[in-house]
């Protein structure tokens, strides 16, 4: 599992352009986590609800990234970037729950 080591809240040093890039990275990471969660959940036949949560979180990250890209102020962009990262962490957590469910299923079938 990837661990995000980020400060809580928006980084006050980022301008709008940096926020746009940072939020896009968050959205891409969330999407990658959601894709993997869905693939593994379908293959194993478990944790469909957690995979669906990963997809919803990735969608929230994408929306926040779009809002960061179109923000009128640096502060608004920072807040949207923080929202994108929060959604990404939710997607990563949901992906981890899929992994744990698969591991549990494997232990039970032994």
- Report the pLDDT averaged over residues 49-76: 97
What band does 3 get if pLDDT is binned at 50, 70 and 90? very low
Evaluate if residue 5 carries a pLDDT over 60.
Answer: no
pLDDT tens, residue by residue, 75-87: 999 999 999 999 9
- Report the pLDDT averaged over residues 22-51: 97
Is 1 or 31 the better-scoring residue by pLDDT? 31
Taking CA atoms, 32 is separated from 15, 57, 71, in Å, by 26, 11, 25
Evaluate if residue 9 carries a pLDDT over 70.
Answer: no
């Amino acid at each position: 599992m990837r661990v995000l080591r980020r400060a809580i809240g928006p980084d006050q040093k980022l301008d709008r352009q940096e926020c746009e890039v940072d939020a896009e990275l968050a959205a891409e990471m969330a999407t990658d986590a959601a894709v993997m969660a869905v693939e593994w959940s379908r293959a194993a036949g478990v944790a469909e609800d957690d995979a669906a949560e990963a997809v919803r979180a990735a969608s929230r990250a994408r929306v926040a990234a779009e809002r960061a890209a179109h923000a009128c102020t640096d502060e608004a962009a920072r807040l949207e970037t923080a929202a994108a990262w929060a959604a990404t962490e939710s997607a990563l957590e949901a992906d981890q729950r899929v992994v744990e469910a698969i591991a549990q299923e494997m232990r039970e079938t032994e």
